[in-house]
Amino acid sequence: MTSRQRSSETFRAAAVPAPSRRTVVKAAAGAAVLGAPLAVARPAGAADAAPVFAHGVASGDPLPDGVLLWTRVTPTPASVPGSGAGPDTAVGWTVAADRAFTRIVAEGTVTARAASDHTVKADVRGLAPATDYFFRFSAGTSDSPVGRTRTAPAADAPVTGLRFGVVSCANWEAGHFSAYRHLAARGDLDAWLHLGDYLYEYGTGEYGTRDTVVRPTAPAHEILTLADYRVRHALHKTDPDLQALHATAPVVAIWDDHEIANDTWSGGAENHTEGAEGSWAARQAAAKQAYFEWMPVRPALAGTTYRRLRFGRLADLSLLDLRSYRSQQVAVGDGDVDDPERTLTGRAQLDWLKAGLAASDTTWRLVGNSVMIAPFAVGALSAELFAPLAELLGLPAQGLALNPDQWDGYTDDRRELLAHLRTRSIRNTVFLTGDIHMAWANDVPVNAGTYPLSASAATEFVVTSVTSDNLDDLVKVPEGTVAAVAAPVIRAANRHVHWVDTDRHGYGVLDVTAERAQMDFYAVSDRTDPDATSAWVRSYRTRSGTQRVERSYDPV
């Protein structure tokens, strides 16, 4: 590793000085702005033209020799997110081996352009593997907060353990992001995974909050345009708990539907009215552009989030895009879910996933998966009885799917993938999933109708929502009330489900060793309380070579 690294733009020779489904907004200074671009706080006594780093810093997609750094600079008071106003501005970045920045290892300059909403990314390379680094940005006389990041282990490194935070589904209006704060406070994460619904597209009061908007969103209307999506991303990046997590460890993120619109598919979305809300192509392009501007994510292919990262010889992580290529969802109970012409992944992505899983030489194959792959059905008859009945009634072959937005609505893709795992004897595949606002620990059966006598091809850990409504919120009853009734019914009809928690909000911590992959599930005390506490709920693991989940009583 060299002591200095040049960026793709201007080299800075000197170290910078020490940092001196529908819900205006608290600006960074705390002022409410109804339906207006996000305001930006400025330090007391600062000159009006002094640049400001109001949206924190972030890093993502760690590699053995590098990491992607992100920030957003506000060069002038008028340069609020979504405005397109303000000059292009040089932004320096510095990476050091210590928090005091006495051992600088890389630095450079990038340009924050109005055309990119004054967001910047620096794809830093030449770093050492499996190493903590500190980074910051500077513009004019201003410095950003300091962030910590970590590179991935070398590809051939014999890694003894990995630890990832796992989150999904953060509705701003429903509460505070305490889950992020508690993950940030751990200080032991190699990275954290965001499995989708980083934000929601709805207007204020239009998505579940138990009829109480805890904190109004911005803009107040449903987001449709590029400026709208930029303002919504900017709002989230002002949350102190989210800023803290971004500044503590690199994120590995994929999108689900709400980063664009509810139940997105390749040609539209449930929450998009063609014409009245503009064209779907324009809205989708705007949402994706804002996402890549505001998130520290490298697109492996233009406009997608599917890609693969490796963490030594212990694990690789295949990240999916289950919105850009999928066929339109069908109605609940529609036998078309078995149509081989319908797809969730698209042909190219499914082939890429299968090839990567087959070629992997790591102990564990992790899959970042935005919607649940394990079947979730009712009417669990044996396969011998259900198959002819399904054919007569036009029902899905694996039972009456309750959520055809999941893999249940695209069973041919699932059958092909699971058959691939079985026929190629690909072991230790673990799906990491969000979306459903509940916590689950599942085996992924080849044939749900004959399980557990038949095989499990993989396992799945599903994390609950950070704040988005789960079942007790929808029914508006005290937490735990629904779980006591629903969980036994769900497990009785789905024998591959080892555990489901329908009611709590929180996060997961995935701990991986050569012997097992374990998910520790945590819940926050009250999503509406900015000072909510966190408590361990349960742990489940899959032992190497078993393809089945078991309970663990030893959280890490």
DSSP per residue, 73-115 = -B-STT--TTS--S--EEEEEEEESSTT-SSEEEEEEEEE-GG
What is the predicted pLDDT for the residue at 335? 77
Residues (pLDDT < 50) of the chain are 1-38, 40, 42-47, 379-382, 385-386, 389, 393
Helix (H) and strand (E) counts for the chain?
9, 28
CB-based contacts of 203, cutoff 8 Å, min separation 6: 22, 23, 217, 219, 220, 221, 222
Closest CA to 195 of 508, 404, 527: 508
How far is 552 from 540, CA to CA, in rounded Å?
5
pTM to 2 decimal places:
0.89
pLDDT score, position 400: 59
The single-letter code of the amino acid at 502 is T
Distance CA 355, CA 352 (A): 5
Residue 491 is classified by DSSP as H
What is the chain's length? 556
Cα 174 to Cα 29, 171, 465, 536: the distances in Å are: 21, 6, 11, 22
pLDDT at 138: 98
- The Cα-based distances of 391 to 195, 283, 384, 400 in angstroms read 35, 39, 12, 12
**Confidence at residue 490, expressed as pLDDT on a 0 to 100 scale:** 84
pLDDT in the model for residue 397: 63
pLDDT of residue 394: 54
What would the two tokens of residue 506 be? 């929180």
Q: How far apart are CA 322 and CA 48, in angstroms?
A: 44
Q: Using CA of residue 26, residue 32, residue 33, residue 35, what is the dihedral sign? A: positive
Instruction: Please give the backbone phi and psi of residue 408, each rounded to the nearest 5 degrees, phi first.
Output: -55, -30
Helices (H), 248-346: 280-294
- How far apart (Å, rounded) are the C-alpha atoms in residues 74 and 142? 11
Give me the pLDDT at residue 1, please: 36
pLDDT of amino acid 300: 78
Strand-strand pairing, 364-369 and 429-433: parallel
As a whole number of angstroms, the distance between CA 496 and CA 375 comes to 8
Q: Please tell me the distance from the alpha carbon of residue 57 to that of residue 540, in angstroms, as a whole number.
A: 33
Q: Which helix (H) or strand (E) holds 359?
A: helix 347-359
How far apart (Å, rounded) are the C-alpha atoms in residues 64 and 431?
23
pLDDT single digits (tens) 504-551:
999 999 999 999 999 999 999 999 999 999 999 999 999 999 999 999
Residue 34's pLDDT is what? Answer: 26
Q: Where are the beta strands (DSSP E) in 266-391?
A: 268-269, 307-311, 315-319, 364-369, 377-378
Judge contact between 81 and 72, C-beta under 8 A.
yes
User: What is d(CA 258, CA 332) in angstroms, rounded to the nearest whole number?
Assistant: 20
% of the chain beyond a pLDDT of 70: 87
Q: Match 């212990």 to its residue by tokens.
A: 314
Q: What residues contact residue 47 under an 8 Å CB cut-off, 6+ apart?
A: none
Sign of torsion over alpha carbons 134, 138, 141, 143: negative
> Within 13 Å, how many C-alpha atoms sit on residue 353's CB side?
27
Which residue in 439, 476, 511, 475 sits closest to 169, CA to CA? 439
Domains of the chain: 25-161 (2.60.40.380)
Q: What is d(CA 56, CA 237) in angstroms, rounded to the nearest whole number?
A: 7
Buried b or exposed e, range 15-47, using 16+ CB within 10 angstroms:
ebeeeebbbbbbbbeeeebeebbbbbebeeeee
